[in-house]
Amino acid sequence: MADMMSDDSTELPVPMKVEQEEIETKGEKEEVAVPAIDVEPSKPPSTSVWIKGTIAMWKKTHGFINYGKDDGERIFCHQANVITSDKKVLLRRGMEVRFLIADGDAKDDRTCAVEVSARDGSPLSFHKKHGANDTYDREIEFEGEVFKGTVKFFSRFRSYGRISVNEETVQRLNDLGCTEKDATDLYFKENDLNIVAYPAKINRGDEVCFQIFNSSRGWGAMNIKTASGDLIPQFTEEDRAEKRSQKDTDDYNREEKPKRRRRQKSEKTQKEAVEVDFSKFEDVPETRFEGTVLSYNVHRFGFIEPTDAEELKKFGVLKNERLSFRAFDIETDQRPAMIDNDTKAKFTLERQEKTGVLYANEIRTVNEEKIVAERKYEAPEPRELLNADEWIEGTVFFFNWRRGHGRIQVDGEEEKYYFHRDDVRSNDKVPGVEDGMKVICQRAKDSKGASVTNIMNVDKTNFEGQLPKYFKNQN
């Protein structure tokens, strides 16, 4: 999965419906005019040797840089310490940079990167490719052509928007050999706006002119100006006060209307199930395949990158060139089930009957031994008991397997007692308990109120064979 914290300039988010866009933009707070970069002076460097690194992630005002042997080290970076030719700092994962290191101080004791620039010492720019690892691959289409359109929506909070081209532009694009499907709804980021200063004063319905670019992620607009070709003005404090005043007036004049029931989706808007042609797939063999564990979420699931992805595609749908697996599929004696990232493993395939998606199960080492992970589950400290000698019986009212918590109805009491997965005594790979089970437990102190711990079978034995309903009924 893409790193949600990163700000990949060419990544196009899944388009929202217009109604969703309106809801989002109505709820966001308008920003006031503030400097694009903090005016607080940078920390003086403590090293004089330039260090080469790669942007690991960037989120609005700060991020991290990987450096050192095999990028094994990581250092914090703030926008105030970035040398850029842009009016606003926006870096991408993969940008190759150089920097100096500054020691921490009384205010912030961590070291950080300062004087961050391109490898050759030039200023960084959002609209330039910096090194082979940089994913920037935009190319301006129809060089010299300027097109016109209308802002469909713009989110200052998420720093991106969309533009709908006008009929004149559609005709011009057709003349240039571009289909309406490609470039009638164009994506843009905040850094694609040519502005006086940030934040930009741009709203839904504004007429603009722009150039069109194409990249591996799709078509978009850049070098965006007003319809007359002027720089987009700055959104000032006066603009904000005027907008707030207008909103208050509209709220006062608006008559209270009865709430309407949410409309049911029409048949056209309902998501249709994708039919899979199973005839093109071969039968799933009992053969063992090899791969590498990419990630694992304790109690839940993980992902494996198969050694030969093309071979597996003969047997079903391989989503994102990887296989998912459940904690229950790990062959291990550890409780809860654990597995380390980068583990080389063997597994068998399972194909989902409706979607044809492939999963991995019966996961062992490449030597066909049970998994023994170095990673350990860090369980919280046992909760303090209200009475160590008292045991109470009850029934599991519900247990949420995904979130790992539930409630128990104690016999003879109306109050339902809270418990967490770590309160369950279990021999299963994923500790849990099925709804409706008769249990015995002890009262415990907890900030959430009435709680219990040491939950076991009524004969005081650990649970075994407890599974969520979706897992039990999957066949």
Mean pLDDT of 24-31: 44
Residue carrying structure tokens 């260090």:
51
Mean pLDDT of 319-330: 93
Residue 292 has a CB neighbour count (10 Å cut-off) of 15
**Dist. CA 434–CA 463, nearest whole Å:** 10
pLDDT of residue 316: 93
The whole-chain average pLDDT of the chain stands at 83
CATH ID of 392-472, from 3.30.420.40, 2.60.40.10, 3.30.50.10, 2.40.50.140:
2.40.50.140
Mean pLDDT of 59-80: 89
| Residue-level length of the chain | 475
Domains 278-365 and 392-472 share a fold: yes
CATH ID of 35-118, from 2.40.128.720, 3.30.930.10, 2.40.50.140, 3.40.190.10:
2.40.50.140
Q: How confident is the model at residue 245 (pLDDT cuts 50, 70, 90)?
A: confident
Q: How confident is the model at residue 181 (pLDDT cuts 50, 70, 90)?
A: low
Class of domain 139-226: mainly beta
pLDDT of residue 200: 86
The pair of three-digit structure tokens given for residue 136, joined into one six-digit string:
């920037």
* pLDDT tens for each residue of 274-321: 678 888 899 999 899 999 999 999 999 999 999 999 999 999 999 999
The pair of three-digit structure tokens given for residue 106, joined into one six-digit string:
């009384």
pLDDT(40) > 80: no
Query: Model's pTM, two decimal places?
Result: 0.46
Question: What residues contact 3, with CB distance under 8 A and at least 6 apart?
Answer: 57, 93
pLDDT(11) > 60: no
Least trusted range by pLDDT, from 104-118, 190-204, 243-257, 415-429: 243-257
Listed by start position, the domains of the chain span: 35-118, 139-226, 278-365, 392-472
**Dist. CA 372–CA 379, nearest whole Å:** 18
pLDDT of residue 263: 58
| CATH superfamily, region 278-365 | Nucleic acid-binding proteins (2.40.50.140)
* Residue % of the chain over a pLDDT of 90: 49
Mean pLDDT of 440-454: 89
